[in-house]
Structure formats: C-alpha cells, structure tokens
C-alpha cells in the first residue's frame, strides 16, 4: 500500500499518523521529492475523474493564471498539469495494487477500509 502526498500537508500528516497508529503497513511517496509519472496519473484517471484528482480548492490551483485554469478540460490537460505542479493533486491518495482506495483523508473512511 502506498500513500501519496507531501509531508508538510496537514491532511497527509493526519493520514500518516492514523495509518501508523493502526499498524497499517504502507510506504510514502513524496510528490515534492519523488515527483509523479504519467503512467501513475493515467491509471488514477481511469478510476477517478480529473475533477476529483485536481484540488481546485487548494492554493496551487488558486494561484494559477485564469487561462491555465480554463485550459484544464479533460484527462490529458489535467495529467499534464498534475505532472508539472504536483501540489495541485488532491492529497493524500491511498493506493493498493494500483487501485485508488481513498482521495483525501477522513478517519471514518479509513476505519471502514480497514475494518
């Protein structure tokens, strides 16, 4: 199982603590340090719409020029943006065997997943 995110994100911190406290074995993929590849994002886009994977409520999205925001209209343009600006990806993403288990962190959802 792999948790994707950035280490200084509060939501990612909560997810990591929850997984650790519940003895859920996982590895951490740091977008800032490790980046992300097109194959991984494309796989996610087969499971989740780009509108959920791109965090349009976050600061990275809000700081984008309007023309850039308006150009994100499909999987291809969203994938390119997520590869260029990894901070725009909704986080954390919990993945197991290539399957997205959860976007973001809600304790209730993690409890259900690991019940």
Active site members: 9
In angstroms, the CA 71 to CA 108 distance is 35
| Cβ contacts of 61 within 8 Å, gap of 6 or more | 54, 55, 69, 88
CB atoms near residue 81 (< 10 Å): 22
């Amino acid at each position: 199982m792999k948790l994707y995110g950035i280490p200084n994100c509060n939501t990612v911190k909560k997810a990591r603590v929850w997984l650790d406290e519940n003895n859920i074995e996982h590895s951490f993929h740091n977008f800032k340090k490790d980046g992300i590849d097109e194959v991984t994002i494309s796989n996610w886009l087969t499971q989740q719409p780009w509108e959920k994977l791109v965090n349009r409520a976050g600061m990275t999205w809000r700081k984008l020029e309007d023309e850039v925001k308006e150009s994100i209209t499909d999987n291809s343009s969203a994938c390119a943006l997520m590869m260029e600006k990894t901070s725009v990806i909704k986080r954390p993403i919990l993945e197991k065997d290539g399957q997205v288990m959860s976007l973001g962190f809600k304790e209730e959802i993690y409890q259900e997943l690991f019940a």
